[in-house]
Structure 1
Amino acid sequence: MDRTANLPNPALEKTSGWINGFIGVLIFSGSLPATRLAVLEFDPVFLTVLRAAIAGVLAVVLLGLFRQPRPARNKWLSLLIVALGVVLGFPLLTALALKHVTSAHSIVFVGLLPLATAIFGVLRGGERPRPVFWLFSILGSALVVGFALAQGLTASPTGDLLMLAAILACGLGYAEGAKLSRSLGGWQVICWALVLALPLMTIASVWLAPASFATISLPAWLSLGYVSLFSMLIGFVFWYRGLAQGGIAAVGQLQLLQPFFGLALAATLLHEQVSLGMLAVTLGVILCVAGAKKFAK
């Protein structure tokens, strides 16, 4: 009997990681445009806690349906870090930032997220990419930021500081969640993080709820549905699995593509102006992602 038949194929595992990561990036690309639409009619803080509460209820159902055992005691601190980073920190800080800047402007900061994720992957995940990897990662981030500056986008110091804080919180949450996914599983990590935050998010949702929802439009409700179901839950199922399979630093570079997917959505849904130079910069970013992938290990 061939005992190697049941061993995982490293090359297939990495390919699967990049596919899962790409799907996660596509889903996350709609988060900031949807949040921008939602905060036009929902209070940013209320939107943050409500989306987490809705996703948390779904997480409880999923964990119960598949009879998932509770994580070991030594996993809860890491789950708390995930919850603070991606359940509370990033959604809240971006929602507050989008009261000051457009979604097109905020999406630009996502270009710094792969670098932040890679750094936290080294600090929290124990990864050691080759020096050339950092060259491609920094170059890709520089292309995204340079593209933003070339557009002449007006900035708000408050909005920019909030977005920078959001990127740091998200990068930490991504790296910590990916590390946990190796032992708990990708969808289980985000579900347990949501469950951990659920009591506080539920109480805050009731406390901050407006007196009436009569003035809320259908686009705002649909945006709330998207950020609750896809941005807060489904996207992480693919994303954490992809990071765990293909490596935090390597697969994290796929986020360099997210600003361009998001800008396309912003132009389509919100009619925000986007330069045609996006295509040329996107090509450069793709090359940087490919280079980072090659030298990640």
Structure 2
Amino acid sequence: MLKGELNLRKNAETQGFVYGFLGVLGFSLTLPASREAVPFFGPIIIGFGRALIAAVIALTVLLVRNETRPSRNQLVSLALVGLGAIIAFPYLSAWAMDRLPASHGAVILALLPLATAGAATLRNGERPSIGFWVAGVVGAATVLGYAVVSGLGRLQPADLALVLADIILAFSYAEGGRLATTLGGWQVIAWALVITAPFLIIPVSISISSSFLRIPAIPWLSLMYLGIGSQFLAFVAWYTGLSMGGVARVSQIQYLQPFLTILFSAVLLREKITVATIVATMIAVFVVIMGKRATVRRVPKLDS
């Protein structure tokens, strides 16, 4: 590879990490916001209603920009993205947050980066090196070890919903990252929202209640954030990052998400930050740096 091409690739990977971090930063508020809003609205509104809010924004942007419609093959991929990122994960996480502390839910999601890297290997033709997998295992072990030390690691039935959400969302990330290289980062989530929205209108309509008018401002603000920030803007940054830096490599930034979530939970929900949290966060940062430096080969991608 020529020096110029190598520099361009490294620059793209660095930009991918920046976009990926912005996406993770946006996602880190998802569980605290869900925890704040779901007792008032219920999991259907929090899981699906936020997608409808985001879909209105996405459709408006697509129409204003007169974007070209996706091809048939791209529509199949968009349906997979929608299943994971718009239907399964939002509902399962909202349901779990009605039963778990936000910080506990963040720890259970610690396996998501490894799952995403695995999905990228199966679907996108990415071949991470042994060093990459070692860093990934250390990252997951750090978060899970932190859970045990902090007393958050006891398995509860609601955790199983988050484990299932991990698996589904991992393949959605891999598919969206692959598709973003041809369709564009923000277009992936925008089109996925638009084609998914019709299936969400009925359950959301049934769940709307007149009691919503008496809900305080903070849960409403949380719902608006989930729709605009978490479900749209954060995904725009995330899929852009995955397409530029590679799904497996950029996915390692997610090891920071539990600790960012715990930070936001402490600020917004008054959940505690301990010395163990700080130490584990420092290890997670080191893991992300090692994951960025590790070799990830790319072989020809699978056809859609």
What's the TM-score bracket when you normalise by the shorter of the two chains? Answer: over 0.9
Partner of 1:201: 200
> Is the CA contact (8 Å cut-off) linking 1:15 and 1:246 kept in structure 2?
yes
Shift of 1:156: 5.5
Counterpart-to-counterpart distance in 1, 2:195 and 2:137: 35
Identical pairs, percent: 39
Q: How does 1:1-297 map to 2 (within 5 A)?
A: 9-153=8-152, 155=154, 157-297=156-296
Q: TM-score, normalised by structure 1?
A: 0.95
Provide closer, same or farther for how the CA distance between residues 46 and 290 of structure 1 changes in structure 2, counting only shifts above 3 A: same
Number of equivalent positions: 294
Counterpart-to-counterpart distance in 1, 2:62 and 2:91: 25
Q: Structure 2: give runs of 5+ residues left out of the alignment.
A: 297-304
26-35 or 205-214, which deviates more: 205-214
Counterpart-to-counterpart distance in 2, 1:122 and 1:182: 16
> Is the CA contact (8 Å cut-off) linking 1:100 and 1:156 kept in structure 2?
no
Shift of 1:5: 9.4
Counterpart-to-counterpart distance in 1, 2:232 and 2:280: 30
Shift of 1:109: 1.7
> Is the CA contact (8 Å cut-off) linking 1:181 and 1:240 kept in structure 2?
yes
> Is the CA contact (8 Å cut-off) linking 2:144 and 2:153 kept in structure 1?
no
Provide closer, same or farther for how the CA distance between residues 226 and 183 of structure 1 changes in structure 2, counting only shifts above 3 A: same
Runs of 4 or more, structure 1, over 6 Å off, are 4-8
Counterpart-to-counterpart distance in 2, 1:40 and 1:20: 32
Shift of 1:155: 4.1
> Is the CA contact (8 Å cut-off) linking 1:101 and 1:156 kept in structure 2?
no
> Is the CA contact (8 Å cut-off) linking 1:256 and 1:285 kept in structure 2?
yes
Shift of 1:158: 1.6
Q: Structure 1: give runs of 5+ residues left out of the alignment.
A: none
Counterpart-to-counterpart distance in 2, 1:107 and 1:23: 17
Shift of 1:157: 2.3
106-115 or 228-237, which deviates more: 106-115
How well do the aligned residues superpose, as a CA RMSD in angstroms?
1.7
> Is the CA contact (8 Å cut-off) linking 1:25 and 1:255 kept in structure 2?
yes
Shift of 1:16: 0.7
Shift of 1:7: 11
Shift of 1:81: 0.6
Provide closer, same or farther for how the CA distance between residues 185 and 29 of structure 1 changes in structure 2, counting only shifts above 3 A: same
SS of residue matched to 1:128: strand
Counterpart-to-counterpart distance in 2, 1:5 and 1:66: 33
Counterpart-to-counterpart distance in 2, 1:73 and 1:213: 39
Counterpart-to-counterpart distance in 2, 1:296 and 1:149: 31
Counterpart-to-counterpart distance in 2, 1:201 and 1:101: 25
> Is the CA contact (8 Å cut-off) linking 1:100 and 1:158 kept in structure 2?
no
